[in-house]
């Protein structure tokens, strides 16, 4: 295939191209990115998932019972645990299916109510009961109020595995009626950037190494909730943890809201990501829709949320943000209205009044914000953009390579959820049987590369692309495959085959695409060509899908002459079904070679079937 790339005439990219998407699913927040080690730390529950003692057990003969006391820790956290017994009693937490114990500082706290004249013992224990770290915490408890106690633990050695627990004990004979009430029992390892209430380091490292340019949050279906009342309420995710009630996720478990609106923004700050904020749009997953005459309240709530993030300290909600320690406003350039409003019978009302109401109100107050509809299955008004999601078999990902060629640049589209989910052994996806691959696998990844190349060729119209869902805890998940998979052992985190694709494309960023002419049509070689004007590096990104032989390529860039050097990186895998598993090895081979342009400025190389490649001139 001979490809000649022109000097000018392409488009200017949005500069975002590859990002991340996060919603609470697969225990990717609680039990994942959110570094909290104690599962069910505050016995949060809802009508859908009632409070329980999940993850807790009693020490020895201690009896544990959930109580809704008349004077709870807070209205947000009404349920606490009463621990009763004789002698040394207490409770043990199994963590998020294990606790990683190594020589580092663990910061813990718990609230107690009850008169107690003794000390508490906080410990990390192995599965055989060996003490890995332990500390005494003198009681400040009394019968009249909830008192917070703080402690640190320093294990001397790394534990043999993560099959460890946390225990908190006390001497019941020194408690007034042999029992005490506990709530919000928390333990954190060191976090990314040492933020209190922060993020798990290995997962943040995997994200930092990926270099996402934006973060779409907080959903996903989880934004929507099962009912109108169960929607993601931004104002219940801010402030002290004791004032965050948590909520029923869309994904079969209760979330703590430990990662709340502010934590999302801090996360964007930490990884230099552009926030793409999704606001609730008046549709819940059950199909309940807010009628037009009642929508104002929710539109105003979205405006309040944006003011909370971006308003000066002289605004009502900007002042609230300042009170919570963030006087400096954040910048929001993208707001998406809802999630998949084309589903759950939501499209008619979205088209008829819901989207327009949010679009008009947000654009009027914040003209610099690019408002996005959560679908492209409608005529999008004015300068609004849209969001397109695709979960499909590899062949169908490839078929959509040309999809964006005729889109409008003034109505930019986010590719907010993209993944090859199951092999080509049937036609299309059977949504009733979500028997998707556990991990991204190599052919799927190559087909995603083809789709991404189609998007990047239209990088003025496509805001950016993100894989979804992004993460899963292998010990408890609802939806695979994901870009990153993990368990409680940070050393076993798997960066998927698709992670390697996104990382390669992301780290070779084009500021402008450049048009190319070719001897052949697209397929089996798919590509995009462009330049990074900041470094003057010319770039070729490609993927080979379904070729019977190696594809020879002769590539010239107008103005790039004989002898110019370039790096050519080719990703391959030994088997089309190779996948990167938790605790397993990386199956993606990455080989970078230095090549030189020949007499006519041509770069000559061969790309094997099922390969992904990037060439950048030096």
Calculate ∠ Cα 604-608-610, nearest 5°: 135
In sequence order, what E strands does 172-328 have? 179-188, 214-217, 247-248, 254-255, 274-279
Q: Which of residues 157-176 bind ligand AHR (CB under 6 A)?
A: none
Nearest to 33 by CA among 499, 470, 597, 561: 470
Which of the ranges 219-227, 301-309, 425-433, 528-536 carries the binding residues for ligand AHR, by CB under 6 A?
219-227
Task: Please say which residue, 23 or 307, places its beta carbon nearer to ligand AHR.
Answer: 23
> How is 53-71 classified by DSSP, letter by letter?
-TTEEESTT-EEEEE--SS
Q: Is 481 near ligand AHR (CB under 6 A)?
A: no
Residue number, 355 or 479, with CB nearest to ligand AHR: 479
Stretch that binds ligand AHR, among 190-198, 215-223, 327-335, 606-614 (CB under 6 A): 215-223
Task: Note the Cα 332 to chain centre separation in Å.
Answer: 18
* Per CB under 6 A, 417 contacts ligand AHR: yes
CB of 224 vs ligand AHR, minimal distance in Å: 8
Q: In what order do the strands lie in the sheet with 370-373?
A: 20-21, 214-217, 274-279, 334-337, 370-373
Stretch that binds ligand AHR, among 175-183, 190-198, 214-222, 502-510 (CB under 6 A): 214-222
Q: Is there binding between residue 221 and ligand AHR (CB under 6 A)?
A: yes
**Minimal CA–CA distance to 479: which of 258, 276, 252, 257?**
252
Binding map of ligand AHR across residues 316-355, x = CB under 6 A, - = no contact? -----------------------xx---------------
Residue 23 or 422 having the CB closest to ligand AHR: 23
**CA–CA dist 346, 580 (Å, integer):** 37
Q: Which is nearer to ligand AHR, 56 or 486 (CB)?
A: 486
Residue 150: how many other CB atoms lie within 10 Å: 11
Binding to ligand AHR in span 358-397, by CB under 6 A: none
**Residue 378 Cβ vs ligand AHR, minimum distance, rounded to whole Å:** 17
- Beta strands 334-337 and 370-373: pairing type? parallel
Cα angle 29-31-35, degrees, rounded to a multiple of 5? 80
Give me the count of residues in the chain: 618
Least distance between ligand AHR and beta carbon 472 (Å)? 10
- Least Cβ distance, residue 396 to ligand AHR (angstroms): 16
Q: Is 496 among the residues that bind ligand AHR (CB under 6 A)?
A: no
Tell me whether strands 165-171 and 88-93 are parallel, antiparallel or unpaired.
antiparallel
Cα torsion angle, 209, 211, 215, 216, sign = negative
Q: Which is nearer to ligand AHR, 32 or 114 (CB)?
A: 32
Q: Cβ 469 to ligand AHR, closest distance in Å?
A: 4
Residue 486 contacts ligand AHR per CB under 6 A: no
Angle at 166 between CA 160 and CA 170, to 5 degrees: 135
* CA atoms of 307 and 329, how far apart (whole Å): 9
Choices 84-92, 218-226, 282-290, 349-357 (CB under 6 A): range interacting with ligand AHR: 218-226
Q: How far apart, in whole angstroms, are the C-alpha atoms of residue 76 and residue 235? A: 12
* Residue selected from 111, 467, 479, 502 as contacting ligand AHR according to rule CB under 6 A: 479
Comparing CB distances to ligand AHR, the nearer of 34 and 470 is 470
Q: Which residue number, 164 or 482, has a Cβ lying nearer to ligand AHR? A: 482
Per CB under 6 A, contacts with ligand AHR among 13-42 are 23
Nearer residue to ligand AHR within complex by CB, 390 or 560: 390
The bridge status of strand 247-248 relative to strand 611-617 is: unpaired
The size of the interface with ligand AHR (CB under 6 A), counted in residues, is 10
Determine if 469 is a binding residue for ligand AHR (CB under 6 A).
yes
Given the rule CB under 6 A, which residues bind ligand AHR? 23, 219-221, 339-340, 417, 468-469, 479
């Amino acid at each position: 295939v001979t490809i000649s790339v022109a000097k000018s005439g392409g488009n200017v990219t949005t500069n975002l191209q590859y990002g991340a998407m996060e919603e609470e699913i697969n225990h990717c927040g609680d039990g994942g990115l959110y570094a909290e080690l104690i599962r069910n730390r505050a016995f949060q529950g809802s009508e859908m998932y009632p409070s329980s003692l999940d993850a807790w057990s009693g020490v020895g003969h201690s009896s544990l019972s959930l109580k809704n006391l008349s004077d709870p820790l807070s209205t947000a956290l009404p349920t606490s645990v009463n621990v009763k017994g004789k002698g040394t009693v207490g409770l043990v937490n199994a963590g998020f299916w294990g606790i990683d114990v190594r020589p580092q500082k663990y910061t813990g706290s718990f609230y107690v109510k009850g008169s107690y004249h003794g000390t508490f013992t906080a410990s990390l224990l192995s599965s055989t009961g060996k003490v890995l770290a332990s500390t005494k915490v003198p009681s400040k408890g009394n019968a009249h109020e909830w008192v917070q106690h703080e402690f640190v633990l320093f294990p001397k050695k790394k534990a043999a595995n993560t099959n460890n627990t946390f225990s908190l004990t006390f001497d019941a004979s020194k408690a007034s009626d042999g029992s005490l009430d506990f709530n919000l029992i928390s333990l954190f390892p060191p976090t990314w950037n040492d933020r209190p209430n922060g993020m798990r380091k290995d997962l943040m490292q995997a994200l930092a190494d990926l270099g996402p340019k934006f973060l779409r949050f907080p959903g996903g279906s989880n934004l929507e909730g099962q009912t109108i009342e169960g929607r993601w309420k931004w104002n219940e995710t801010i402030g002290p943890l004791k004032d965050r009630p948590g909520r029923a996720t869309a994904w079969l478990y209760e979330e703590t809201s430990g990662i709340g609106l502010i934590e999302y923004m801090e996360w964007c700050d930490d990884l230099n990501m552009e926030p793409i904020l999704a606001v609730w749009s008046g549709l819940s997953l059950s199909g309940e829709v807010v009628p037009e005459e009642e929508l104002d309240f929710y539109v105003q709530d979205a405006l309040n949320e944006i003011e909370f993030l971006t308003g000066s300290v002289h605004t009502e909600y900007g002042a609230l943000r300042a009170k919570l320690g963030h006087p400096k406003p954040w910048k929001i350039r993208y707001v998406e209205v809802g999630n998949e409003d084309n589903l759950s019978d939501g499209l008619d009302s979205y088209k008829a009044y819901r989207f327009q109401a949010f679009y008009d109100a947000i654009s009027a107050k914040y003209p610099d914000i690019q408002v996005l509809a959560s679908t492209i299955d409608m005529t999008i008004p004015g300068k609004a953009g849209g969001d397109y999601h695709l979960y499909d078999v590899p062949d169908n990902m490839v078929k959509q390579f040309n999809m964006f060629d005729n889109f409008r640049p003034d109505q930019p589209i986010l590719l907010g959820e993209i993944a090859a989910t199951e092999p080509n052994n049937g036609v299309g996806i059977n949504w009733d049987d979500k028997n998707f691959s556990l991990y991204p696998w190599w052919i799927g990844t190559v087909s995603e590369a083809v789709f991404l190349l189609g998007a990047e060729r239209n990088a003025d119209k496509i805001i950016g692309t993100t894989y979804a869902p992004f993460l899963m805890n292998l010990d408890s998940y609802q939806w695979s495959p994901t870009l990153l998979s993990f368990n409680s052992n940070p050393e076993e985190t798997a960066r998927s085959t698709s992670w390697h694709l996104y990382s390669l494309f992301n780290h070779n960023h084009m500021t402008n695409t450049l048009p190319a002419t070719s001897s052949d049509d697209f397929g089996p070689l798919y590509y995009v060509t462009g330049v990074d004007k900041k470094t003057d590096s010319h770039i070729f990104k490609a993927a080979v899908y379904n070729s019977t032989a190696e594809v020879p390529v002769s590539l010239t860039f107008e103005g790039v002459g004989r002898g110019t050097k370039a790096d050519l990186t080719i990703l391959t895998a030994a088997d089309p079904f190779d996948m990167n598993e938790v605790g397993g090895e990386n199956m993606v081979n990455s080989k970078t070679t230095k090549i030189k342009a020949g007499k006519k400025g041509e770069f000559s190389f061969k790309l094997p079937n099922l390969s992904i490649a990037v060439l950048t001139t030096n």
